[in-house]
């Protein structure tokens, strides 16, 4: 890593340049997308992805109510209005059936509201949203699919890589992500080379050549030290993702033997299960990369406190759904409008998950959870 950083220092090319271009080629190859465009953060990547996909001021973009804030704030920065839709109770990914209904309802209304120009599904926790369903919706309604793949580098849907499933996709290399930089960085992938050219211009002040400006871009560039660090780590990503999958399988097995869980299926209603712990469903088409291993727990906050006392870290992704964030009050949404997201926000708990985790540590986590409920 230090040698890679030294190489950049010697080159004196600190912004974009050959390291960033090499990373762009490597990420395009990994995801199966035609091109990749390195940028300053995952949030920046989302904005570039939306604008390149054709989202214009005054448009609307459908996204999930249950994600990190940037999934929605990038829509606002593109000048559009987010339309929040609830999640599938089994996976907590954007519910494609509800999205389809939303689009059909709008089509029936004669007084057309703002144009819905894109749908932004988030591959939450490292598992792809139902991309078969979103493909069908995209074709039926002529709406672009933009992936928020910030948590899903290396993930697949039916053998196709996250990042090549929509027209554009955003990845984050924030230091907690499966592939992480030594600071902020992100990348956009696209299946459309023309859009890649547009994004290269947008990330660099809308400037096709120095000091000539065709449109309002921004400084959204990636720096070369981040690219050099990422290229060293990229060689290990497949191994790390495999380790995460093994750890998830160990958690699954230990939970199955613990008497704590019942597996929730999509046909069950929300409150049907009285088990203290529930696992999320795994889509058979998905290669899940377990950015997080998340359970739904009764008395979640007490459990989290109990684990903290035993020095076991855990985190809540996310404690408040997006439609209830104060900054989105102008949308006029209320508690009760997205019941699945709201219940998930009360129940989800992410357990320790990283490649170096040991089986003994996983055992201690599950035993501690069992102790809490006994
Ligand atoms: C991390 C993350 C982002 C933002 O990425 P940054 O690099 O922190 O800007 C966007 N969406 C989701 C779902 C994320 O997890």
CA distance 300 to 287: 28
Level-2 CATH architecture, domain 2-236: 3-Layer(aba) Sandwich (3.40)
- The neighbour count for residue 185, using CB atoms within 10 Å, is 30
CB-based contacts of 347: which residues, under 8 Å, 6+ apart?
A: 278, 296, 297, 298, 300
CA 163 to centroid of ligand 1, rounded, Å: 14
Write down the pLDDT at residue 332. Answer: 97
CATH of domain 238-373: 3.90.1150.10
Ligand 1 atom 2 nearest Cα: 150
Side-chain-side CA neighbours of residue 282 (13 Å): 17
CA 151 to centroid of ligand 1, rounded, Å: 7
Residue of 70, 186, 195, 193 whose CA lies nearest to 120:
70
CA 224 to centroid of ligand 1, rounded, Å: 20
Write down the pLDDT at residue 199. Answer: 97
CA distances from 12 to 8, 16, 18 (A): 6, 11, 11
Write down the pLDDT at residue 107. Answer: 77
Write down the pLDDT at residue 266. Answer: 47
- The neighbour count for residue 38, using CB atoms within 10 Å, is 31
DSSP-derived letter for residue 133 is H
Write down the pLDDT at residue 114. Answer: 79
Pocket test for ligand 1, best of 40, 42, 179 (most atoms within 8 A of CB): 42
Pocket test for ligand 1, best of 148, 172, 181, 187 (most atoms within 8 A of CB): 172
Q: Tokens 């007490």 — which residue?
A: 302
Q: Ligand 1, residue 44: give the atom nearest the CA.
A: 9
CA 221 to centroid of ligand 1, rounded, Å: 16
CA distances from 162 to 83, 170, 188, 333 (A): 23, 10, 11, 31
Q: Do the bridges between strand 116-120 and strand 60-64 make them parallel or antiparallel, or are there none, so unpaired?
A: parallel
Pocket test for ligand 1, best of 151, 181, 292 (most atoms within 8 A of CB): 151
Q: Ligand 1, residue 70: give the atom nearest the CA.
A: 10
Task: Please check whether the two domains, 2-236 and 238-373, share a CATH topology.
Answer: no
CA 130 to centroid of ligand 1, rounded, Å: 20
Q: How many helices (H) and strands (E) does the chain have?
A: 12, 13
Q: Ligand 1, residue 174: give the atom nearest the CA.
A: 7
Q: What residue ranges line ligand 1, CB within 6 angstroms?
A: 41-43, 67-68, 70-71, 122, 148, 150-151, 172, 174, 184, 186
Ligand 1 atom 7 nearest Cα: 42
Side-chain-side CA neighbours of residue 69 (13 Å): 8
Query: pLDDT (tens digit, 0 to 9) for every residue of the chain, 374 residues total?
Result: 999 999 999 999 999 999 999 999 999 999 999 999 999 999 999 999 999 999 999 999 999 999 999 999 999 999 999 999 999 999 999 999 999 999 998 877 755 667 999 999 999 999 999 999 999 999 999 999 999 999 999 999 999 999 999 999 999 999 999 999 999 999 999 999 999 999 999 999 999 888 989 899 999 999 999 999 999 999 999 999 999 999 999 999 999 999 998 655 444 455 556 799 999 999 999 999 999 999 999 999 999 999 999 999 999 999 999 999 999 999 999 999 999 999 999 999 999 999 999 999 999 999 999 999 99
Residue of 208, 206, 201, 227 whose CA lies nearest to 216:
206
CA 30 to centroid of ligand 1, rounded, Å: 19
Write down the pLDDT at residue 110. Answer: 57
Write down the pLDDT at residue 322. Answer: 98
Q: Ligand 1, residue 71: give the atom nearest the CA.
A: 11
Instruction: Kindly list the domain boundaries of the chain, sorted by start residue.
Output: 2-236, 238-373
CA 38 to centroid of ligand 1, rounded, Å: 15
Ligand 1 atom 10 nearest Cα: 70
Ligand 1 atom 5 nearest Cα: 42
Q: Ligand 1, residue 74: give the atom nearest the CA.
A: 10
CA 70 to centroid of ligand 1, rounded, Å: 6
Q: Ligand 1, residue 43: give the atom nearest the CA.
A: 9
Pocket test for ligand 1, best of 46, 147, 155, 174 (most atoms within 8 A of CB): 174
CA 172 to centroid of ligand 1, rounded, Å: 5
């Amino acid at each position: 890593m230090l040698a890679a950083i030294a190489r950049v220092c010697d080159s004196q090319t600190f912004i974009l340049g050959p390291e960033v271009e090499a990373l762009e080629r490597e990420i395009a190859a990994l995801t199966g997308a035609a091109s990749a465009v390195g940028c300053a953060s995952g949030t920046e990547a989302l904005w570039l992805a939306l604008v390149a996909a054709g989202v214009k001021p005054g448009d609307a973009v459908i996204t999930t109510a249950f994600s990190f804030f940037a999934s929605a704030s990038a829509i606002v920065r593109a000048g559009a209005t987010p339309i929040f839709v609830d999640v599938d109770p089994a996976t907590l990914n954007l519910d494609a059936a509800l999205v389809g209904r939303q689009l059909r309802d709008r089509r029936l209304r004669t007084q057309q509201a703002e144009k819905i120009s894109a749908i932004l599904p988030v591959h939450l926790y490292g598992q792809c949203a139902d991309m078969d369903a979103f493909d069908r919706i995209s074709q039926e309604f002529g709406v672009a699919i933009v992936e928020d793949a910030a948590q899903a580098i290396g993930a697949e849907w039916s053998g196709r890589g996250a990042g090549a499933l929509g027209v554009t996709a955003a990845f984050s290399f924030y230091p907690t992500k499966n592939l992480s930089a030594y600071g902020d960085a992100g990348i956009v992938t696209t299946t459309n080379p023309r859009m890649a050219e547009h994004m290269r211009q947008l990330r660099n002040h809308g400037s096709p050549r120095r000091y000539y400006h065709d449109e309002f871009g921004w400084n959204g560039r990636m720096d070369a030290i981040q690219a050099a660090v990422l290229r060293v780590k990229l060689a290990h990503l497949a191994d790390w993702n495999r380790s995460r999958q093994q750890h998830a399988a160990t958690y699954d097995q230990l939970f199955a033997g613990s008497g704590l869980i019942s597996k929730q299926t999509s046909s069950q209603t929300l409150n049907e299960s009285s088990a203290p712990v529930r696992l999320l469903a795994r889509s058979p088409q998905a290669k899940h990369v377990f950015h997080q291993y998340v359970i739904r727990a009764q008395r979640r906050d007490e459990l989290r406190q109990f684990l903290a006392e035993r020095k076991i870290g855990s985190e809540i992704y996310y404690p408040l759904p997006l439609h209830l964030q104060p900054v989105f009050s102008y949308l006029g949404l209320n508690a009760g409008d997205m019941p699945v997201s709201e219940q998930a926000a009360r129940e989800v708990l992410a357990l320790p998950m990283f490649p170096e985790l040991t089986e003994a540590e996983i055992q201690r986590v599950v035993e501690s959870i069992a102790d809490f409920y006994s």
